[in-house]
Structure 1
Amino acid sequence: MSRGNALSVAAAFIVCILVPASALLGVASWEALAASADDTVIDSLAFFDEEITVVLSALVQMSDDLSLVADSSVRGTVTQTLRNTRLLDAMELIVRANGFDFRRKGNAIVVATPERLASVFDTVEVAVIPLKHRSPVEIIATLDLIVPKESIRADARTSSVIVSGTAAQVNEAKRLVAHLDTPVRQVWIQSRIEEVATSALSNLGIKWDSLSLKPQNNPIGQVIGASIDVIPKLGFLQDEGYARTVASTQLTVADGSTARILLGDRIPVKRVTVGPDGTRTESWEYFEAGVRLEVTPEMGMEDEVSLKVKPEISSVEGTAESGGDSLPWLKTREAETVIRVRDGETAVIGGLLQTQELEELTKVPLLGDIPIMGELFKRTDKDIRQTELLIFLTVEVIDDEYREQTAGGVDIVELLTAEESSSTSVAGGQ
């Protein structure tokens, strides 16, 4: 008995119960292919080592709306047991499982290899999409969600992206680029670094021990709300000698970029290395001393900004020998933290302490300068002074152009979903 006759005989003994598709849960992806929804459901059906074209033909005959066109590339056998399966779902499972794809042409379902279908049905289009604000590399990283990576190319010279694909893919790529190619948001940051005597901090209203460091629904860093107005009081403390301004700067930073400020010196140190053959090589290494501040803003929703802040204050205290080289010995105070502030707010970072031992010489004029005997007319007073470094960061969002560009824009999540279906705060430093 031939295989085709065996299939007919086997099918005669199989009971196929047809029930409405609404009785089953879920929506099959093939449903959109039919001119009208096919309600045929296979209750129980099995195929054993049958030719895939024979199986697909048998399934299509169960529908009054669909017909089958199988390309010559469609070959192979099917062993499948179906129970309570929609007809269109069953055909999709069999086609996909065997490495084939399908297209709709009228009421006919055309089955072939993906490459064969693309060569017949898909007209390849090429589009050059110019960019105004973002780099091609940034855009390509997202475009490969819609178009295969090998079909996307960046042209840095013209600041554009070249996309090749079907008309639908090219159109979706253009929509996505229009959404992504927006001006980079910028943040204006005013930084002010103050060195304040710890004994005077209470006059500013700052007492770290009395502040609760419990985060207020803030997963980044330990940030607390505080309604303190410390800036006006700093002037009074400076007049009294309890505070001094170490640095004050203003800068504009792009979202996600790092701004770096150095107010100090770059100390050159000569390095001499001797090779195996006795060759001496001289090079220069630079050590930075002074005030250094690194700030990286990351924009959030509703003008909220996360600031990654890394302040450092260093000074040269002497020299140290290392491998025959005399290197500067730096005394450093540094911290690194992440805080979250809103547009227009001022963040205060503290906790960088320094203890200094000061000596004050007092002497009687003239008499104190007499050799040997002058020591009787001198007095040396020692005082231990502890200071704390306070960093004030005021943040303002500069995004007027960004708001204009993105007004009425397509939401990125909605765009990708459519493509898939069609195809003052205070923080204690460490």
Structure 2
Amino acid sequence: DIQKKKQGTFLPKEARIQPAAFSMAQVAKKPLPKAPAVSIQEEEEEEFKISTGMEPGKTYTGQKLDLDLQDIDLDNVFRLIAEVSNLNIIVSEKVKGKVTMRLKEVPWDQALDLILSTHKLGMIQQGNVVRIAPLKDLLDEEKERKRVKQERLQAKIEAAKRLQEAEIEAQERERKLRPFVTEFITLNYTKAKDFQAQIKDILTKEPKLERVGTAVVDERTNTVTITDYPEKIERIKQYKEKVDKPTPQVLIEARIVKATKNFARELGVQWGAQYAEYDKRGEWAWGVSSATGSGTTPPVTPSSWQSGSFTQGTGRDFFPLSGWMVNLPATLLPTPPGIGLQVGRLVGDLINLDLRLSAAEREGLTKIISRPKVMTLDNVEATIKQGREIPFTQVNPEGNVSVVYKEASLKTTVTPQISPDGRVRLKLDVTDDFPDRSNANPITGNPEIVKRQGTTEVLVRDGETVVIGGVLEETRATAEDGVPWLKDLPGLNWFFERKTRRHDQTELLIFVTPFIVQQD
């Protein structure tokens, strides 16, 4: 049944193959190429794609053939395709079956796919070597290959993890053997206790190795003793250079003055107008409004501070400087009394203020109570206090009488905050405590201590004066004098006696001027 052909190529007599423009004799003259040697390493690393002959959208570019096959073994058909395609085809021994097909002008790779899909075979190609086997076997091999690959990957991960753990253990042993060093850090401006709290996150914390850095404070010398690794101490030194700097200081000068009701107007204090200050960076803004002037007017009530409205972009002019502005619109306070604060800005410098106050005092318009000065750090509260202690009589249940003293004073608390542009934001807290003898205790005679308080915040330039007003005092007094004995005669006493009544209203003005102290 076998017909011998040229150069030892054997074909079944039932098979006839005629490639288009390619004779059978030409095919038979070409020897089969040798399969290249493939290393195990290359097989392990290279991914193989299984072709089933049913891939959708596949494009065929092989040489076209005319095939007329009838009941031909699959092995012989693959030999024919190997000769035409110049591929090395390895067929599994499990591949069995016969082929009967007639094709005309069909690419050889398409013919190969038709045979694979018809007989449920699969193909794996590596270079010019093609391996054909049952599709199920190839899929099982691929599954096993992935499993082995995953196991190898997992083994590599475990090995890398063990190596990393060994390196960490070695580093920990090295750190445990590496000694700590101790160094003293003396601070110039920062409190040692504060510095200790700031560096706690830098210190070493390795409880497993029993290695914990420490910072011990000596408040007497303002020194912190650091015990840690050298690199941690170096980091702490760098941090110290950044934070251990002098804090800006502010000199607060105050003048506490009792003045007549209209003195503030005559002095040039800008009361009763609207003020708006806007920080261009958009961080904050504030406003003040009073009972005169335009715009929305919030009420000023005792012991409170009301913010007024303002419009952004009005510039830095505090008030127009024409005329003497308006008078302070404060009124006497109801019971229980409080402070309806009025905040204004003084036109002119501090020297001019002192001259005006001294001249007014000579004329009897004012009385300068005190001129305190206090130096404070940025963002640190400063207190200016003027007052006295009032004796109070106390009787215990056993009837023993004792005297205690209670403070009745005018206290102004100022907290300055220096802004980056050189201005000063002042937080002002004014407390006025005074004895009210009209409401004295009828048994002990102790006066009532009336407390009045107001709080506000203002923004001023360096050396600018803020005036706080709104605390009025009213004095009503009646005096009698005359000729002794004659002024007591009935019907004639009015010839020899004189009665005078006084009704005085004075205002307490507090002038606060901050000066930023320049550091050398």
> Could you say which residue in structure 2 is the equivalent of 1:71?
165
In structure 2, runs of 5+ residues without a counterpart are 1-43, 49-148, 206-212, 289-316, 319-344
Q: Is the 8 A contact 1:296 1:308 kept in 2?
A: yes
Instruction: Answer 1 or 2: which has greater strand percent.
Output: 1
Q: In the superposition, relative to structure 1, how do residues 227 and 191 fare at CA in structure 2: closer, same or farther (>3 Å)?
A: closer
Larger CA Rg, structure 1 vs 2: 2
Counterpart position of 2:236: 173
Q: Distance in 2 between matches of 1:369 and 1:51?
A: 123
Are residue 119 (structure 1) and residue 119 (structure 2) matched? Answer: no
CA deviation map 1:91-140 (0-9, x unaligned)? xxxxxxxxxxxxxxxxxxx45699668537x6533221112333211212
Give the equivalent residue in structure 1 for 2:274: 212
Supply the AA of the counterpart residue of 1:356: E
SS at match of 1:146: coil
Equivalent pair of 1:312/1:333 in contact (CA under 8 Å): yes
1:195 paired residue among 258, 261, 280: 258
Supply the distance in 2 between the matched residues of 1:367 and 1:49 (Cα, whole angstroms): 128
Does the CA contact (< 8 Å) of 1:53 and 1:70 recur in 2?
no
1:201 aligns to what SS in structure 2? helix
Distance 1:338 1:148 in 2: 44
Match of 2:157? 55
Quick check: 291-300 or 223-232, which moved more?
223-232
2:384 counterpart residue number: 261
Q: Aligned equivalents of 1:365 and 1:284: distance in 2?
A: 40
Q: State the SS of the aligned residue for 2:202.
A: coil
- Secondary structure of 1:214's counterpart equals strand
User: What value does the CA root-mean-square deviation take over the aligned residues?
Assistant: 4.5
Task: Write out per-residue CA displacement over residues 254-285 of structure 1, whole angstroms, 9 at most, x where no aligned residue.
Answer: 334333333332234455656xxx8x999875
Q: In the TM superposition, what are the counterparts of 1:3-402 in structure 2 within 5 Å?
A: 54-55=156-157, 69-72=163-166, 110-111=167-168, 118-119=175-176, 124-147=180-203, 151-206=214-269, 208-209=271-272, 211-217=273-279, 219=284, 222=287, 225=318, 226=345, 228-229=347-348, 231=353, 232-269=355-392, 271=394, 285-318=404-437, 320-321=440-441, 327-351=446-470, 353-359=471-477, 361=479, 369-373=487-491, 374-375=493-494, 378-381=498-501, 383=503, 385-401=504-520
1:395 CA displacement: 2.0
Contact (CA 8 Å) 1:237, 1:243: kept in 2 or not? yes
**Quick one: distance in 2 between partners of 1:12 and 1:58?**
24
The 2-side partners of 1:227 and 1:252 are apart by 22
Q: Secondary structure at the match of 2:232?
A: helix
- Paired with 1:357 and 1:128, the residues of 2 have a C-alpha distance of 64
Q: Equivalent residue of 1:286, what SS?
A: strand
Aligned residue for 1:140, secondary structure, equals helix
Percent identical among aligned pairs is: 22
- SS of 2:275's equivalent in the other structure is coil
Q: Confirm or deny: 8 A CA contact 2:428 2:456 kept in the other structure.
A: yes
Distance across 2 between alignment mates of 1:51 and 1:113? 25
Gaps of 5+ in 1: 1-8, 14-46, 60-67, 73-109, 402-430
CA shift at 1:332, angstroms? Answer: 4.3
The answer on whether the counterparts of 1:268 and 1:286 sit within 8 Å (CA) in structure 2 is: yes
User: CA 1:310/1:54 → structure 2, altered by over 3 Å: closer, same or farther?
Assistant: same
Count of paired positions: 308
1:176 to 1:363, Cα distance in 2 relative to 1, 3 A: same
CA offset digits 1:323-366 (Å, max 9, x no partner): x8764312444322233333322222222x22414235577777
Q: Classify 1:55/1:269 alpha carbon distance in 2 versus 1 (closer, same or farther; 3 Å).
A: farther
Q: Which amino acid aligns with 1:245?
A: I
Q: Is the 8 A contact 1:297 1:306 kept in 2?
A: yes
Q: TM-score, normalised by structure 2?
A: 0.48
Secondary structure (helix, strand or coil) at the match of 1:168 reads helix
Would you say the 8 A contact 1:186–1:252 is kept in 2? yes
Shift of 1:192: 0.3
Match of 1:415 in 2: none
Whether the 8 Å contact between 1:368 and 1:378 is mirrored in structure 2 is no
Q: Deviations over 1:183-206 (max 9, x none)?
A: 343322211012222333321233
SS in 2 for 1:190: strand
SS of aligned partner of 1:132: coil
Q: 196-205 or 168-177: which moved more?
A: 196-205
Looking at structure 2, the residues matched to 368 and 248 of structure 1 have their Cα atoms a distance apart, in angstroms, of 48
Contact 1:123 1:167 in 2 (8 A): no
Contact 1:247/1:291 (<8 A) preserved? no
Q: Tell me which moved more, 244-253 or 261-270.
A: 261-270
